[in-house]
Structure 1
Amino acid sequence: MSLPSIGDILMLSQLAWKIGRAFTAGRKGAPAEFLDVETAINGLAKALKLLAETLFAEADNGVLSKADNDTKSGVATILLSCQRTLQDLDSLLDQYQVITKQRTSGGFTIERSWSDLVLATYQTMMWTSEGGNIQALRNMVNMHTSTIALTMQASKSLSRLESTVSPMASKVDDIRDTGGDLNDKLEEVHRVVVGINGETPRIPPARDGGDDSRPPSSLRLDTRQQDNRSPESFTTA
């Protein structure tokens, strides 16, 4: 399993940012659960952006490039799991959101909103490919944020990175296995994260002190030395 590039991680951050903005689109009175998921996804977008920034800033030191194969594979596993969740959500948005044109004084605006079917059944419908409900989706997103934030924090020390990533990746990988309760698996990841870090990782403020609501594409990173693979490129060895 190949390591993702900085560009791959930024693409995931952009996707998360887009999904977060779309989740409560078109409904001022969106259900509280939708607002919770939106907040969680925005946190994930920020964690991915900060991971990309950290790897870029540490490029000369190259801690991740010096890590053993198990650690590199673990980082890829953590990011691949996040990618799958975001892609599943993106597909769900395309399937269940309605796009309408609204006439304005200057022409038209395009608006997205959830279908009436979703608003009527969101508490009982499946929101994850593992069959989880909307609370499980929020917990899944928070799990991705925690594991990515802890990976970022550990990436400045080779020994810490190698001791941190593999235990998390093993539990993250178990989530995709059939059988077992999804919430129990997510709780197990949380226990591992807290066991390593002592608490749920906190996401630090943006490095540039800028507005976290802006899209991750506004980062001024020179990724010309990175290859231009799509996120799908790190799904296989």
Structure 2
Amino acid sequence: MASPVSFGDAVAMAKIARRIAHAFTKGRKSAPSEFREVENQLYSLSAALAAFKNVCGADVAAVAIDAEQLPARFRNEEQDGVQTLSVILDSCKETLKHLEKIVQEYGVVSAPKDPSMSRLQRWNTELVRNYKKIAWTTEAGDLETLRSQLMIHTNSLELVLGIIMK
């Protein structure tokens, strides 16, 4: 298993999710309408990751998660709540890193009109024409599968947050 994800990673992942969401909507006129739904899921995931960091602080070991309060599919006799949380965050990180690669591969960086703004990332015409052929998930899924994955990551984080905040 990979090294555990830290809470600092949650902040970095929130920023990555927000940056990818921006890429999904820049140049909206040329982007497929399905991108709007993915954008919304990415913003939700970014907000869940930021809230997670705000509630939990910086020390993963200090977070008390009663594994018995987690749904059965999250429980494992060999894992405690922190390990379960690490698995959730690792899975989220894997999805975001995969999406980040797609944005880098198919994105075109353009200069902003206002020099004080950051550079913009837009989709290139090849992606816009062939977006249904892109492997949007690490399992080669389509945009709907990606949207579902992002929703699962968000819901999992919100579930854990609910348990922590009880």
User: What is aligned with 2:75?
Assistant: none
- Equivalents in 1 of 2:15, 2:80: separation in Å? 28
Alignment identity in percent? 29
The number of aligned residues is 154
Letter in 1 for 2:31: A
Residue of structure 1 aligned with 2:127, choices 105, 108, 118: 118
Aligned to 2:144: 135
Q: 1:92 to 1:80 in 2, by over 3 A?
A: same
Distance in 2, matches of 1:12 and 1:106, equals 26
Q: So what's the TM-score if we normalise by structure 2? A: 0.79
4+ residue runs of structure 1 moved beyond 6 angstroms?
105-109
After superposition, the Cα gap between the structure-2 partners of 1:108 and 1:16, relative to the gap in structure 1 and judged at 3 Å, is: closer
- Partner Cα separation in structure 1 for residue 91 and residue 135 of structure 2: 18
Cα 1:107/1:137, change in 2 over 3 Å: closer
Match of 2:103?
93
Question: What stretches of structure 2 of length at least 5 have no aligned partner?
Answer: 68-77
Shift of 1:107: 9.7
Give the number of the structure whose alpha-carbon radius of gyration is greater: 1
Describe the SS at the equivalent of 1:122: helix
The farther-off stretch of 106-115 and 130-139 is 106-115
> Unaligned 5+ residue runs, structure 1?
158-237
CA displacement, residues 36-77 of structure 1 (integer Å, 9 cap, x when unaligned): 000000000001111111112999x7424x879432211100
Look up the match of 2:18.
Answer: 17
Higher helix share: 2
Cα 1:144–1:108 shift into 2, 3 Å: closer
CA-CA distance at 1:106 after TM superposition: 6.3
Q: Distance in 2 between matches of 1:85 and 1:14?
A: 14
Cα distance in structure 1, aligned partners of 2:162 and 2:109: 40
Deviation at 1:124, TM superposition (A): 3.0
Offset at residue 25 of structure 1 (A)? 1.1
Q: 1:86-121: per-residue Cα shift (whole Å, max 9, x none)?
A: 00000110000112336x586997432111111111
Shift of 1:29: 4.8
> For the residues of structure 1 that align with 2:146 and 2:18, how far apart are their CA atoms?
16
Matched, 1:5 2:6: yes
